[in-house]
Amino acid sequence: MQNILVPTTPAIETKPGWKLAPAAFGKPGNQATVWAECPDFCSENHVDNWTQHAVDLDHWGSDGARWDTDSMHAPAEALLALSARLYLDPTNPDPRMRAATVRIDDESVDVFHTPEMAEQTADELIAFAAQLRHLARQARTFNEGPAEALHQVRGGQV
Ligand SMILES: [Zn+2]
């Protein structure tokens, strides 16, 4: 009996930062699975999430960043959310999209940032967080201030 060796990875070299991953293309019921170049950061299953044409193959990082918040009127509901993932579209006519980008999504609009734009946005979000903390301090000071003390002295009567 002859042993048949099935290679677990193809003997094709990729450029640095890229790997080969199985990808399925075609129409439902008539697909072919081939090895496709995939950036190392890509966590997409290109067989389960097949595309009809090879040019539609794009690459996604795993969920890298996510923030959401509820409201005092709807606790435990994520009413406002932001998430960010790495994204790359190797056949996009825009060369910036053929490089790794950061896709930021608020669940209604998504934007694509170059690394420099993402860094600028991160700096702006840090500034926003500082302003938010300042607003929280102002609200607390007001709530605990003279008006609230007078309200308590009057036994809750205005
Ligand atoms: Zn990929």
pLDDT tens per residue, range 93-124: 999 999 999 999 999 999 999 999 999 999 99
Average pLDDT of the segment spanning 68-80: 93
The answer to whether residue 123 sits within a structural domain is: yes
pLDDT of residue 142: 94
152 belongs to a structural domain: yes
Residues contacting residue 28 through CB under 8 Å, at least 6 positions apart: none
147 is a domain residue: yes
Alpha carbon of 42 to ligand 1 centroid (Å): 5
- Within-domain flag for 151: yes
Q: Report the separation in Å between the CA atom of 79 and the middle of ligand 1, taken as the mean of its atom positions.
A: 30
In a domain, 23, yes or no: no
**What domain range includes position 141?**
115-158
Question: What is the per-residue pLDDT across 11-50, written as a single tens digit (0 to 9) for each?
Answer: 678 899 999 999 999 998 899 999 999 999 999 999 999 9
Ligand 1 center to 44 CA (angstroms):
5
Separation of 43 CA from ligand 1 center, angstroms? 6
Distance between CA atoms of residues 141 and 1, nearest Å: 84
- Exposed, middle or buried by CB within 10 Å (0-12, 13-18, 19+), for 52? exposed
Q: What is the pLDDT of residue 102?
A: 98
Residue 76 located in a structural domain: no
pLDDT at 2: 45
Is position 150 within any domain? Answer: yes
What digits encode the pLDDT tens for the residues 113-157? 999 999 999 999 999 999 999 999 999 999 998 776 667 777 766
146 inside domain: yes
**Token duo for residue 60:** 């996604």
User: How many angstroms is it from 21 CA to the middle of ligand 1?
Assistant: 7
Q: How many domains does the chain have?
A: 1
